[in-house]
Chains A and B, each alone.
Chain A
Amino acid sequence: MSMLTVENAHTYYGNIHALKGINITIEKGEIVTLIGGNGAGKTTTLRTISGLLKPREGDITYEDESLLKYKAHEIVYKGISMVPEGRGVFARLTVTENLEMGAYSLSNKQDMGNNMERVFNLFPRLKERRSQLAGTLSGGEQQMLATGRALMADPRLLLMDEPSMGLAPVLVELIFETIEQINKTGVTILLVEQNALMALSIAHRGYVLQTGEIVISDTAQNLKDNPTVQKAYLGME
Chain B
Amino acid sequence: MRTSFGERMLDLIVSGFLWGIRILIVSVIVIGTIGTLRTGQYTSEQWIDFVVFGVAQGSIYALIALGYTMVYGILRMINFAHGDIFMTGAFGAYFIATWLTNTGFVDANPVLGLLIPILFAMGIAAAIAMLVERIAYRPLRGAPRLVPLISAIGASFFLEYAFRGFFGPGKYAYPPIKALEGSWEIFGIGILKVQIVVTIAAFIMMAILYFIVMFTKVGKAMRAVSENKDTAALMGIDVNRIIVSTFALGAAMAGAAGVLFSLVYRQIDFFMGFTPGIKAFTAAVLGGIGNIPGAMVGGLVLGVFESIGPSLFLEGLGITRPYQLKDAIAYTMLVMILLFRPSGILGERLTTKKA
Contact = CB atoms under 8 A, between A and B. Distances in A.
B237 interface: yes
A219 to B, nearest CB: 30
Which interface class (under 10, 10 to 19, 20 to 34, 35 or more) fits B? 10 to 19
A153 B220 contact: no
Interface stretch (A95-103, A113-121, A229-237): A95-103
A90 B233 contact: no
A181 B251 CA distance: 48
Residue among A51, A84, A104 with most chain B CB within 10 A? A104
Interface in B233-250: 233-239
Interface of A: 50-52, 71-74, 76-77, 81-82, 84, 88, 90-93, 97, 100-102, 104-105, 149, 153
Contacts of A93: 220, 223-224, 227
A75 to B, nearest CB: 8
A85 to B, nearest CB: 10
Contacts of A105: 235-236
Q: Closest 6 CB pairs between A and B?
A: A105-B236, A76-B236, A72-B233, A88-B231, A104-B236, A104-B235
B220 A100 contact: yes
Contact of B230 (A76, A77, A84, A92): A84
A92 B230 CA distance: 16
Contacts of B239: 73
Contacts of A149: 235
B224 A82 contact: no
Residue among B231, B232, B233, B236 with most chain A CB within 10 A? B236
A51 B217 CA distance: 23
B296 interface: no
Contact of A101 (B230, B237, B238): B237
Interface string B54-72: 0000000000000000000
6 contacts: A51-B233, A52-B234, A101-B220, A101-B235, A104-B221, A104-B235
Dominant secondary structure of chain B at its interface with chain A:
helix
B231 A90 contact: yes
A34 B155 CA distance: 48
A81 B235 CA distance: 8
Given A101-B232, A104-B217, A90 B223 contact: yes
A101 B220 CA distance: 8
A108 to B, nearest CB: 13
A10 to B, nearest CB: 21
A104 B237 contact: yes
Contacts of B224: 90, 93, 101
A74 B238 CA distance: 8
B318 to A, nearest CB: 48
A73 B231 contact: no
A106 to B, nearest CB: 9
B220 A50 contact: no
A84 B233 CA distance: 11
Given A101-B220, A101-B221, A104-B217, A73 B227 contact: no
B223 A76 contact: no
B183 interface: no
Given A93-B220, A101-B220, A50 B234 contact: yes
Contact of A81 (B217, B228, B230, B234): B234
Contacts of A71: 233, 238
A159 B232 CA distance: 15
B234 A76 contact: yes
Residue among A76, A84, A88, A90 with most chain B CB within 10 A? A90
Contacts of A50: 234
